[in-house]
Amino acid sequence: MTQVHHHELSGVIEFTPPKYGDHRGFFSEVFKQSVLDAEGVEARWVQDNQSFSAAPGTIRGLHLQAPPFAQAKLVRVLRGAIFDVAVDIRRGSPTYGKWVGVELSAEKWNQLLVPAGYAHGFMTLVPDCEILYKVSAKYSKDSEMAIRWDDPDLAIAWPDIGVEPVLSEKDAVATPFAEFNTPFFYQG
């Protein structure tokens, strides 16, 4: 049975599906719609994305897309380990600007659901990380937004792995949280 852990932020859920092994290797049902349905997850998955990061300390994020292309994400690690972060960006939410961070790894076999209305990012903790994630809407360049990964107002406790962060040009100049105009509103 899949282990389910609800994090402090509404809708952020960690799933760890069972893994059955023997002398040949293992088998696992890594995605099962009925498990998400049982947790009230209403996302309809339209696409799988895969990324590879060679260097430890690679940061991707904090990213989001504005409606109507807002994306929920179901993130898992195929190889390596990451520190995965979700930030509540729903104006009026009691947890607006709060974040949750989870270590996801191929070894732990866990996944993180990041609902629409949250910014998402991750840091690779080891070399050669491959990440696979489902998204609930297609990519739209015009709807793309980013918030600074190291914004002091968010105060995300990124792990110190002893290397300088590796960033894209876009992430290096992302919007500070104080200047971010969220397109999401809390519907409590």
CA distances from 168 to 10, 77, 85, 129 (A): 29, 20, 17, 16
Catalytic residue among 23, 133, 139, 186: 133
Catalytic residue among 63, 96, 120, 139: 63
Residues in contact with 47: Cβ distance below 8 Å, sequence separation at least 6, in sequence order: 134, 135, 138, 139
Phi, psi of 81 (to 5 degrees): -155, 145
Closest CA to 75 of 44, 54, 106, 29: 106
23 an active-site residue?
Answer: no
What is the CA angle 107-110-116, rounded to 5?
145
63 an active-site residue?
Answer: yes
Task: Supply the residues annotated as catalytic.
Answer: 63, 133
